[in-house]
Structure 1
């Protein structure tokens, strides 16, 4: 799954994580200041933030673009020398481009959050009559947001286009790799489906989860300082009263509670999803044999196989009931949680309309990034089931025993799912 697209996968991913962490730490502990050597100094502490689209060609941003390019070039150059790979342009360079565009869109969100404060305070002043303004000034403020939204939207469109091609390149690499070993893999149950469908689903899900995780991490890094700065407006939290870092602690506690709740509720789902693919594959395989052999796909056989499909789906539906109850109850409560913790500050008249807009948006971004597992649990369940099927291919090529569930299936011992081995 990975060796077809990435050079020396285990070492590659370990080195990518270490190099990324080193680049991030160096940036925060001196790298950002190096831009001054080339005329691109960092923003001076205490100066008003740049409002609007011009922030993206300010000196600090231009230096970050150069810094990111240099870090990627060094990483790519090392792997091209150490372990050349036919897909390294896509697995390294295009991955870096996608990550950069994700970062850029996160920064667009930060710029929008910065715009919220002065603009909504301006709106509050207009509504209360304490500010005199003109229609031109009002529309200029809206135009500032419109430029940010327009740039963010188009960057997202470009990123989606690149991601689609990236996914298909990974699927192509897996397809060529497995097809080249078809003689060793053809005896595995559902081999054709695993190559045709599971490789496609695996690459799509991995990209979806990977980009979501990176976006969540970048959002957390970008918005956590914003949230810390904004909590100067917060006097205390409900029930617990005054505590250090109130917004950060509230976000962490709330997201930890939700994530644990959803993970516990969804423990049984991966196994059931995997068995679902088993019974569907057995039913489909018998129907395919029936197209060429008159003695196959007899009514009694197909009825039994379809009954296995029905039984497993009904079990899956039952377990999804309480999983969805837990998940959607939490997500609905999440919609009002920020209002709940801001209650004491509203009553104490410590929050303006602009500050409230900034806090609500920043708090939602931070909690959203911390809720990665909660929001992605259904996708993770699907990935686990697909990974188990493709893992049988890798075990065969490595000369290792098949995964336990494949061994039981091949021996006809999958009694709990009602699956019976089919002789070709």
Structure 2
């Protein structure tokens, strides 16, 4: 699944982790000193609104630093272990990583814009305020939002285009690898479907989940400091009272609760999804044989195979009932949770409308990032099932015993 597309997996993934750790550590430790060498200011006194957010000195240095780090890493692997898909697997992954980071920074830029815009709106709506707001001020802020939104649209379209090609290359790599080993895997139930369909779905889901995971991690790095700073405007929470950094603490506890809840109630679903694909493949295979062989696909056989399909679906429907109940209840509670913890602060008027909007956005970004498993659980279930199906190919190619689930009936 991985070695067909990426370089030598035994060393490639450890090298990714080690190199990423070194580069990140060097950036956080020495970026200020490096910036000073080139006459760049790495800290801004106040958030920059609009397009200026993306061309500050710290961003300029980051662009160069990231490009150099990726170039050195790619050059090493191009020389050490050349592979057919290296341009896509290494540089393509690096581009997707960068575009994900850039998208997170777009969200940060929009969050920075919220305070001046909504504070200006609040002043404009207050007819008794001594300060008056001109339409030009509001139009200027709207134009700044439009500029950032244009960047967001451009990055979204470009990323989708690159990711589409990336996914197809990964699928092609797996397809070529498994078809070259066809004599060893052809006996596995639904082998043709696994090669044709599961490779495509695996690449698609892995890329989707991978991008979401990176986005979640980068969002946390970007918004946790913001939420930490905004906690100064919230002195206490309902029931628990005053605690250090209440917004930061509440977001972490609430998100971990949701993640644990969904992981527990959904623990049976991956195996059921796997069995569902098996019984569907067996039923479809018999129908295909029946097209050319009159002795196959007899009513009794089809009835028995379809009964297995029906049984597995009904069992899966039952387990999805309580999973969906828990997931829906948590999602609905999540929609109102931040307002609940802000009630004491709102009631005494300690924050402006602009700060409220910043808190809502930052809390939502941090909460959603921590809830990565909650938001992606249904997709993870499907991925685990596909992984199990393709893992059987790996076992067959290595002449190992098939996984236990392949040896049991549905």
Q: Classify the TM-score, shorter chain.
A: over 0.9
Q: How far is the alpha carbon of 1:396 from its aligned partner?
A: 1.3
Establish whether residue 108 from structure 1 lines up as the match of residue 77 from structure 2: no
**Residues 342-351 or 167-176, more deviating:** 342-351
Query: Which secondary structure does the structure 1 equivalent of 2:239 belong to?
Result: coil
Q: Residue 222 of structure 1 aligns with which residue? A: 222
Q: Residue 347 of structure 1 aligns with which residue? A: 347
Q: Residue 123 of structure 1 aligns with which residue? A: 121
Q: Residue 405 of structure 2 aligns with which residue? A: 405
Q: Residue 2 of structure 2 aligns with which residue? A: 2
Among candidates 90, 93, 98, match of residue 91 of structure 2: 93
Query: Which secondary structure does the structure 1 equivalent of 2:242 belong to?
Result: coil
Among candidates 63, 69, 72, match of residue 71 of structure 1: 69
Distance (Å, rounded) in 2 between the aligned partners of 1:49 and 1:298:
72
Matches within 5 A, 1:141-220: 141-220=141-220
Q: Residue 262 of structure 1 aligns with which residue? A: 262
Q: Write out per-residue CA displacement over residues 385-404 of structure 1, whole angstroms, 9 at most, x where no aligned residue.
A: 10111011111112222111
Distance (Å, rounded) in 2 between the aligned partners of 1:132 and 1:348:
25
Matches within 5 A, 1:219-298: 219-298=219-298
Matches within 5 A, 1:326-345: 326-345=326-345
Q: Please tell me whether the aligned partners of residues 49 and 113 of structure 2 are also in contact (alpha carbons under 8 angstroms).
A: yes
Distance (Å, rounded) in 2 between the aligned partners of 1:40 and 1:296:
75
Distance (Å, rounded) in 1 between the aligned partners of 2:373 and 2:20:
22
Q: Write out per-residue CA displacement over residues 162-194 of structure 1, whole angstroms, 9 at most, x where no aligned residue.
A: 111100000000001111111111111111111
Q: How far is the alpha carbon of 1:265 from its aligned partner?
A: 0.7
Q: Write out per-residue CA displacement over residues 60-85 of structure 1, whole angstroms, 9 at most, x where no aligned residue.
A: 11111001111111111221222111
Distance (Å, rounded) in 2 between the aligned partners of 1:20 and 1:9:
16
Q: Write out per-residue CA displacement over residues 214-239 of structure 1, whole angstroms, 9 at most, x where no aligned residue.
A: 00000000000111111110111111
Matches within 5 A, 1:281-320: 281-320=281-320
TM-score, scaled relative to structure 1: 0.94
Distance (Å, rounded) in 2 between the aligned partners of 1:312 and 1:53:
54
Q: Please tell me whether the aligned partners of residues 40 and 60 of structure 1 are also in contact (alpha carbons under 8 angstroms).
A: yes
Runs of 5+ in structure 1 lacking a partner?
418-424
Q: How far is the alpha carbon of 1:17 from its aligned partner?
A: 1.8
Establish whether residue 389 from structure 1 lines up as the match of residue 389 from structure 2: yes
Q: Residue 53 of structure 1 aligns with which residue? A: 51
Q: How far is the alpha carbon of 1:40 from its aligned partner?
A: 2.8
Q: How far is the alpha carbon of 1:371 from its aligned partner?
A: 0.2
Q: How far is the alpha carbon of 1:31 from its aligned partner?
A: 2.3
Q: Please tell me whether the aligned partners of residues 232 and 245 of structure 2 are also in contact (alpha carbons under 8 angstroms).
A: no
TM-score, scaled relative to structure 2: 0.97
Distance (Å, rounded) in 1 between the aligned partners of 2:209 and 2:20:
18
Q: How far is the alpha carbon of 1:32 from its aligned partner?
A: 4.1
Q: Residue 81 of structure 2 aligns with which residue? A: 83
Q: How far is the alpha carbon of 1:18 from its aligned partner?
A: 2.2
Q: Residue 379 of structure 1 aligns with which residue? A: 379
Runs of 5+ in structure 2 lacking a partner?
none
Query: Which secondary structure does the structure 2 equivalent of 1:29 belong to?
Result: helix
Q: Residue 367 of structure 2 aligns with which residue? A: 367
Q: Residue 28 of structure 1 aligns with which residue? A: 28
Distance (Å, rounded) in 1 between the aligned partners of 2:343 and 2:10:
49
Superposition misfits of 4+ residues, deviation over 6 angstroms? none
Distance (Å, rounded) in 2 between the aligned partners of 1:252 and 1:197:
38
Q: Write out per-residue CA displacement over residues 273-306 of structure 1, whole angstroms, 9 at most, x where no aligned residue.
A: 0000110000000000001100100111111111
Distance (Å, rounded) in 2 between the aligned partners of 1:269 and 1:98:
30
Q: Please tell me whether the aligned partners of residues 34 and 41 of structure 1 are also in contact (alpha carbons under 8 angstroms).
A: no
Alpha carbon RMSD of aligned pairs, Å? 1.1
Q: Please tell me whether the aligned partners of residues 120 and 133 of structure 2 are also in contact (alpha carbons under 8 angstroms).
A: no
